[in-house]
Amino acid sequence: MNFFLKIFKLLPPELAHSFSLNSLNILYKLKVLELLFNKIEHDEKITFLGMEFNNRLGTAAGLDKNGDYIDSLGALGFGFLEVGTVTPLPQFGNTKPRIFRNYSENSIVNRLGFNNKGVDYLVSNLKKRKYKGILGINIGANKNSDGDERINDYIVCLQKVIQYADYITINISSPNTPNLRDLHNSENLSLLINALNESVKDLGIIKPIFLKISPDESQETMNNIIDNIKNSCFSGIIATNTTIDKSNIKNKKIKSIEGGLSGEPLMDKSTEKLSYIRSISGDMPLIGVGGILSKKDFDRKINAGASLVQVYTGFILKGPSLINEILTS
């Protein structure tokens, strides 16, 4: 696997991402994946919101936007997967280049902009999956939607994916869709929650629904978010998405690039946000994500109040070996 990682580093970021996951799919279908990756079974049997997980480690949204790699990723030993972010209509996202790697600081900046093939394509893949583990589906809004139309995008996706999901994530925190983070504001969030509450009631949904939040919001905003989602259809929070704050980046070229920063420089900020949410939310269910590159990072998220932890950039940079490092250390 180290050999493949070295090869992937020579490729442009998006090509490397696609090539690596397609290679994973091929190895899975040829039934040789376990020969190259020494998966160690690590079953904890965690029960969380009525769902049973084999372990606490999962993938974050963005790794598999369209559900093309569910079975092969599931074979690596993750306790759960989250696919998406998916939008009602297919969209290309922002113009390329839009992913920038910063290996010296274990980080990535992306300005993808919810590029995906649309919810109907994802549903077609969900129907074909063999993976039996816990699967979350992350939903968002199309770039050109606005106001009530943007809120309706979440309802459309919810209605189409709910029967295939173990839980749903409402993504209002990508920095790469214009004005999406405005949904953190109390008035806008209330409108979204009211629409979701009505849809959940009409559909008879009893599955967990999470709100994925930004690490860049103030404590006042976080207090309002907690107040708004109590006694709503939301079960908990995923903290956090990427940050637009690059003040702790030394690489001047990377520092000047617009987009969301992930990886090691995000770790402290996202974990502090997670810890604050835990301190004001009581026993609200929380999932931690942002900056996990080691077992130590994983433990920090758990100690900060997360019941489950998701990885993305750490998995991209370190490969499947990160899974065993976290689950067997």
pLDDT digit string, tens, across residues 126-168: 999 999 999 999 999 999 998 899 999 999 999 999 999 999 9
329 is catalytic: no
Q: Give residue 33's pLDDT band: very low, low, confident or very high (50, 70, 90).
A: confident
Structural domains counted in the chain: 1
Which one is catalytic: 72, 145, 173, 174?
174
pLDDT at 42: 65
Instruction: Give CA–CA dist 73/238, Å, rounded.
Output: 21
Pairing of strands 167-171, 209-213: parallel
What number is the average pLDDT over the span 183-208?
93
Q: Are 106 and 132 in contact (CB under 8 A)?
A: no
Lowest mean pLDDT among 16-20, 81-85, 264-268, 293-297: 16-20
Two structure tokens written together for 149:
């139309």
Q: Give residue 28's pLDDT band: very low, low, confident or very high (50, 70, 90).
A: confident
Per-residue pLDDT tens over the stretch 223-261 = 999 999 998 999 999 999 999 999 999 999 999 999 999
Two structure tokens written together for 51:
């769902």
- State the amino acid at position 4 in one-letter form: F
**DSSP H or E segment with residue 148:** helix 148-161
- DSSP assignment of 255-295 equals HTS-SEEEEGGGHHHHHHHHHHHHHHHTT--EEEES---SH
Helices 267-281, 295-303: crossing angle, 10 deg rounding? 20
Per-residue pLDDT tens over the stretch 71-96 = 999 999 999 999 999 999 999 999 99
Task: Tell me the CATH number at 263.
Answer: 3.20.20.70
Instruction: Give CA–CA dist 215/237, Å, rounded.
Output: 12
Two structure tokens written together for 189:
């969030």
Domain that residue 324 falls in: 2-328
